Structure 1
Amino acid sequence: MGLKLASHILTRPGSLARHVTVVDGGLIPASGGGGYDTHTNHIKDSARNLANIWHELTSIINEPGENNPAKLNLEETLIVVNTEFGRTPWNQNGSGRNHHPYAYVTLMFGGPVGPDQQGIVGSIGSDGFAVNALSPAESRAATLAALGVYPFAPECYAVSDVYGAGTELEASMWINEVVLGVKA
């Protein structure tokens, strides 16, 4: 329901909306807490909830060649799928997974994400920890940049939130080129 409402808000003629946030709590309550908080029965609960969210998400996006004005056009819409943390790569309580802030996945597609950036930035190693990955601040700063919001305004992020950047220009160029795939 939330995704269909978001699509309606963004595609309604005359709408000034540029950003919509949808919080998905899962279709089916997980055994260990909320919809995705799978401290037990991780595979069973996650499979049902993830299948539902992907089905709902793909139903509101135009397929190549489709021009349904009531659906999202990926040429002009950035979609970010982000979680608050990952799940441990090892079992908890036999069939569950605990909270794991050291590696998780954020998906960004559509909008300004260029063809050179299609693929993967970073990875999760065999030990379950992130390798050459974006920090949460870097992915959120990139989202702001994609929305046309300057990510280094005082109320947003600091240049030091972008690893290795010494100036606002360096940080902005890295976010645009490496994360979003936009060449200067």
Structure 2
Amino acid sequence: TTRRSLPLMGLTAARRLLTHPTEPASYVCVSDTGLYEASGGGGYDTHSGNAEDTAANFDNMLQSLLGIINTPGENDPTKISIDDTLVILNTEFGRTPGRQGTDGRNHHPYGYVTAFIGGPITTAHKGVSGAIGKNGYATSFATPAENRIAAMLAMGMWPFAAEGFNVSDVPGATTELQAAQRSISKFLGRSV
């Protein structure tokens, strides 16, 4: 029996919205619910079977994502251009570095990864911002607010409107301009 891939269906819908010939979407969010349901629900809530479930679901998501992106020189109008599209791989929290039970991992918001790929992130700007120590806790990090601020700036949106984020969400910033410059420099790898 062939299993239907909900992540592939979501990414295919995103591709169609982003590559529409006359009215392409500016922003699309796809939630990866996994190819297989994890023990805690969804694709990644792995209170047991962490290695198997995460490997199968993450591999499926990455393969599905690669299938909708033009390879260098391909120029297929029905696929997205990674040069023009920012892909953000984000999670609400990570998994504990130590086991839960025999083969699971519990919730762990103290050290996890968010990846920004494509769009304004080029090979000249690639890199890592932050670090996770041997104990699984972040030693330097971006807050969820900082990640969202950087994403909005990358998409050309001003994140400091009254209904958005505060300057104080960016440590050390005292003005909107300074907060934007720090975010662009730290998370998008560009000097302003």
TM over 0.5: yes
Kindly indicate whether residue 111 of structure 2 is the aligned counterpart of residue 103 of structure 1: yes
SS at 2:164's partner residue? coil
Aligned to 2:13: 5
Shift of the alpha carbon at 1:59? Answer: 0.6
Match of 2:40 in 1: 32
3-state SS, counterpart of residue 116 of structure 2: strand
CA distance in 2 between partners of 1:159 and 1:116 (Å): 28
1:44 match: secondary structure: helix
**Counterparts of 1:88 and 1:64, CA distance in 2:** 37
Confirm or deny that 1:128 pairs with 2:136: yes
State the distance in 1 between where 2:33 and 2:165 align: 28
Match of 1:79 among 81, 87, 94: 87
Deviations 1:40-90 (A, max 9, x none): 010011111111001001111111122111111111111111011100000
Hey, what does 2:3 align to over in structure 1?
none
Rounded Cα–Cα distance in structure 2 between residues aligned with 1:168 and 1:116 = 26
2:11 aligned with 1:21, yes or no? no
- Which sections of structure 2, spanning at least 5 residues, go unmatched? 1-8
State how many pairs are aligned.
Answer: 184
| Matched AA of 1:42 | N
TM-score w.r.t. length of structure 2 = 0.92
Residues 61 and 71, structure 1, Cα contact 8 Å, conserved in 2: yes
Q: How does 1:30-179 map to 2 (within 5 A)?
A: 30-179=38-187
What code does the residue aligned with 2:72 have?
P
Identity level (%):
49
After TM superposition, give the deviation of residue 146 of structure 1 in Å. Answer: 1.1
